[in-house]
Amino acid sequence: MRQVGFNLDTTSRDAVLQISARGRLVLVHPMANRGTAFTLGEREQLGLSGLLPSRVTTIEEQLRRTYAQYSRSPSPLAKFIQLTQLRDRNEVLFYRLLSEHLEEMLPIIYTPTIGEAIERFSHEYTGARAVFLSIDHPELVEQSLRDFELDADDVDLVVVTDSEGILGIGDQGIGGVQIALGKLGVYTAAAGIHPRRAIPIVLDVGTDNLGLLNSDLYLGERHARVRGERYDEFIDLFVQTVTRLFPNAMLHWEDFGAGNAHRILNRYTDEICTFNDDIQGTAAVVLAAVLAAVRLTGMPLAEHRVMIYGAGTAGVGVADLIREAFRRAGVSDDDAYRQFWAFNSRGLIVEDGKGVRDFQRPYARKRADVADWTVVDPARISLAEAVREVKPTILIGTSAQHGAFSEDVVRAMAEHCEQPIIMPLSNPTSRAEAQPSDLLEWTDGQALIATGSPFGTIRHGEIYHTIAQANNALIFPGLGLGVSVVRAERVTAEMIYAAADALAGLMNEYRPGASLLPSMSDLRVVAATIAKAVAETAEAQGLARRPMTNAIADIYQRMWKPEYPRLEILPPDSQN
Ligand SMILES: NC(=O)c1ccc[n+]([C@@H]2O[C@H](COP(=O)([O-])OP(=O)(O)OC[C@H]3O[C@@H](n4cnc5c(N)ncnc54)[C@H](O)[C@@H]3O)[C@@H](O)[C@H]2O)c1
Ligand SMILES: O=C(O)C[C@H](O)C(=O)O
Ligand SMILES: [Mg+2]
């Protein structure tokens, strides 16, 4: 990080921060500012003596104060805003507070509260340290990226969204910038990616959200979403520019619409170092949860029948990776496809159905497969009807349809399956296909559950069930860290599988009611473990541009810790 007045080596855990700036400039730089923790000597040298209250405090005192402020904030959104303001004022303190209360604060800075912050972005706007790129100004793309003041070697990660498919709340226009910021917050909190080695970006291509278009306060381009050739050209311009300026960065795509996510990933995956979180991150975390659950059922994976309710960006990513696990278990590709039943908004996807997208097509069932089913409308076969016919053992929800896993669906599933594996993965909480407490109720406590948003622990009978949060936050931080440690040239299917496998390998608790996945409070351990597996896989595939000397040491050395860096105060006139 090199800005006029400040210089910080962001590659090492114990870097020195050089400051030649003076006075207010120091206090408004979130990475340099440490507020009341500046010592009297530092204050004098930096020209801050009159700008701070006289008492010097430790970071522990600052943590006590900011945690009390957090606790007093009256609503989740107020807590989000309080933490955002802290992040914009004193980044070290923000990450330290977050890391000490990770499980408590994750639902605030990330899913589910972030959904509300995204919807309210233009109303609550207080600035956002991100890059905004508009399709109406392609000529500004390069300059805008340069304006973020990072050099080629300074960037490990770029998180970009076009906001069309934000969580399960759809098109949120420019507000989607918050999901890019939220994901980066998790990268740092979980994997220690240095907060100054990443760029959050929103591509403003317009919005089809009429509420936003009609709001006086809306801050994005005020027109319908641009699609087709002009959209593709803009994406291409963006990809070419960002990879030229930041050749070592992994490009992370977040919350694109169903019509673009798979298409864009397929277009670039063999050309650059890139990853789609909703497709690949989700797939890896869900596979890990499925493998843990399958082990508990005692029934071999190859015999399971899988329903994907909501075969969109995430759903098909999940299906593809579970299918890979079938293949690794010795099942032929043809046979594996026959174990999957996928749904879109028109019901079960059948080969002659309407509106089937290219990436869904491999999962379309043959008409003959369903010819003798008892259904009301063969052109629109419902989940309940399909469940009765297929008797699935695994039900995955990525449809954003609240309550879609209804009592009759779940009871019908449980009738033929002792321990049904049911995963309502849609976010935020208001979109979940089912409430875990209901699932336990309807299956007599037998369901093996994972959800996308946090649900915590639920008592059913004598047993406390810890509901696994199968959120891609368990995957992307470690993946990004592993990729950056070896500067992988690509993100391959093998690396994604290795991430899932490493996560599954962390599960060793088998008491009744135990979670299928590690807890979000263990994110740092999870991320480091996944990073190692990913980096080693990249090396084995010959994709490491920076060989490791010792995997553990290399990963540990790159994991930034939220502590005030050592200061070196340079003369005010020296240029750095
Ligand atoms: N847990 C996680 O880590 C995670 C990761 C990614 C996405 N998700 C969640 O999954 C949901 C979907 O996200 P996405 O990015 O895949 O969106 P998407 O728009 O790409 O996919 C949604 C799919 O659901 C289908 N659908 C809509 N209505 C339906 C209905 N009534 N019945 C059956 N199918 C229906 C659509 O046809 C589409 O294929 C969101 O709520 C998102 O938050 C969770
Ligand atoms: O953002 C999340 O919480 C997970 C996932 O990427 C989603 O889109 O829901
Ligand atoms: Mg997402």
What atom of ligand 1 comes closest to residue 314's alpha carbon? 16
ipTM above 0.90, yes or no: yes
Distance 492 CA to ligand 3 centre (A): 19
| Ligand 1 binding pocket includes 451 (Cβ within 6 Å) | no
- Shared-domain flag, residues 122 and 188: yes
- Shared-domain flag, residues 377 and 457: yes
Cβ–Cβ < 8 Å for 475, 530:
yes
- Shared-domain flag, residues 209 and 194: yes
Assign residue 153 the CATH number of its domain.
3.40.50.10380
Is 333 annotated in some ligand binding site? no
- Shared-domain flag, residues 230 and 121: yes
pLDDT tens series, the chain, 576 aa: 778 899 998 987 777 999 999 999 999 999 999 999 999 999 999 999 999 999 999 999 999 999 999 999 999 999 999 999 999 999 999 999 999 999 999 999 999 999 999 999 999 998 999 999 999 999 999 999 999 999 999 999 999 999 999 999 999 999 999 999 999 999 999 999 999 999 999 999 999 999 999 999 999 999 999 999 999 999 999 999 999 999 999 999 999 999 999 999 999 999 999 999 999 999 999 999 999 999 999 999 999 999 999 999 999 999 999 999 999 999 999 999 999 999 999 999 999 999 999 999 999 999 999 999 999 999 999 999 999 999 999 999 999 999 999 999 999 999 999 999 999 999 999 999 999 999 999 999 999 999 999 998 999 999 999 999 999 999 999 999 999 999 999 999 999 999 999 999 998 777 899 999 999 999 999 999 999 999 999 999 999 999 999 999 999 999 999 999 999 999 996 654
User: Which of 437, 456, 472 is the C-terminal boundary of a domain?
Assistant: 472
- Shared-domain flag, residues 453 and 525: no
Cα-flanking dihedrals φ and ψ of residue 290, to 5°?
A: -65, -45
Q: Which residue in 70, 95, 110, 497 is the catalytic one?
A: 110
pTM over cut 0.90: yes
Q: Which domain holds residue 545?
A: 474-558
Residues 6+ apart with CB under 8 A from 524: 99, 190, 191, 192, 559
Q: Is residue 570 part of a domain?
A: no
| Ligand 1 binding pocket includes 471 (Cβ within 6 Å) | yes
Residue 309 is a catalytic residue: no
Assign residue 326 the CATH number of its domain.
3.40.50.720
The residue ranges of DSSP E strands in 467-570, in sequence order, are 468-469, 566-569
- Shared-domain flag, residues 392 and 434: yes
- Shared-domain flag, residues 455 and 486: no
SS3 state of residue 3: strand
- Shared-domain flag, residues 170 and 194: yes
Q: Is residue 287 part of a domain?
A: yes
- Shared-domain flag, residues 428 and 409: yes
- Shared-domain flag, residues 286 and 236: no
Cβ–Cβ < 8 Å for 530, 482:
yes
Q: Which residue in 79, 183, 187, 497 is the catalytic one?
A: 183
Q: Is residue 100 part of a domain?
A: no
Residues with CB under 5 A from ligand 3 (ion): 255, 278
- Domain tally, the chain: 3
- Shared-domain flag, residues 468 and 479: no
Q: Is residue 575 part of a domain?
A: no
User: Which of 211, 237, 272 is the C-terminal boundary of a domain?
Assistant: 272
Q: Is residue 170 part of a domain?
A: yes
Residues 6+ apart with CB under 8 A from 271: none
Residue 268 is a catalytic residue: no
User: Which of 472, 487, 512 is the C-terminal boundary of a domain?
Assistant: 472
Q: Is residue 39 part of a domain?
A: no
Is 471 annotated in some ligand binding site? yes
- Shared-domain flag, residues 446 and 505: no
